[in-house]
Homo-oligomer: A and B are copies of this chain.
Amino acid sequence: MSTDDLIGHVERLRAAPLDRWPTRDRILYEAGRLMAAKGYHGASTRDISTAVGIRQPSLFSHFPSKRDMLVELMRYEMSVPTDKARQIAAESAPAADRLLRYMQWDFDWYARMPLDLRGIKEELLDEPGLERFKGELAAWKRAIERIVRDGIHAGEFHDASPAVVSTMMSSISWEIVRTSGLGRSRSASSTLRLGAAEFILRGLLVDRG
């Protein structure tokens, strides 16, 4: 599935109640929830199947292995935002515009994500078969830091460290993953969403509007 297909699929899931989701997506939902609570290794395939309401071996007619559930969640967590960051970084609008627009898209993507991505951690990229996501993570970072560097070069931004900015941004996305999502309270994360983008821009802009 392409990035646009994944985005469209998420829209459809958001529009339907959980018990109307295809089994495959319900498996992904419960796998995400349990990996968030117990970690990837701590969430057993029996836990997942019980939550879905099927028997453990039935999982393997939807996914060839537990790892493939993780790979699918990783696409939502990482591949889609990386694609979006690359796309916005390549535009020619002022850096402040691009950075704000990306942050809004990013924070919104995670805040409205119907799957639970809290268990999808960077260390899992060391698991065999997940190495390819390391390249995507690096590409995301490169895209964001390119926007910051553009802004510094154009005199819009202070001479801040691009790495500090990308770090703070991904930390905030992660915090949004942690505090929002289906079934969790969104109020804390909505304060964060608005406050953080403003805070980051305030720290960067030479001319504070």
Q: Which of A7-15, A76-84, A99-107, A167-175 contacts B (4 or more CB under 8 A)?
A: A167-175
Size band of the A side of the interface?
35 or more
Are A161 and B191 also in contact (CB < 8 A) when A168-B196, A203-B202 are? yes
Q: Which of B36, B121, B174, B192 contacts A164 (CB 8 A)?
A: B192
Contact with B along A37-52 (1 / 0, CB 8 A): 1111110000000000
Q: Chain A binding site: helix, strand, loop or mixed by DSSP?
A: helix
Contact with B along A122-161 (1 / 0, CB 8 A): 1110100000000000000000000000000000001011
* 29 chain-A/chain-B pairs, Cβ below 8 angstroms: A36-B123, A38-B41, A38-B123, A39-B41, A39-B42, A39-B121, A39-B123, A40-B42, A41-B42, A42-B42, A118-B123, A119-B123, A121-B121, A158-B202, A160-B195, A161-B191, A161-B192, A161-B195, A163-B188, A164-B199, A165-B199, A167-B171, A167-B175, A167-B192, A168-B172, A171-B172, A171-B174, A199-B203, A202-B202
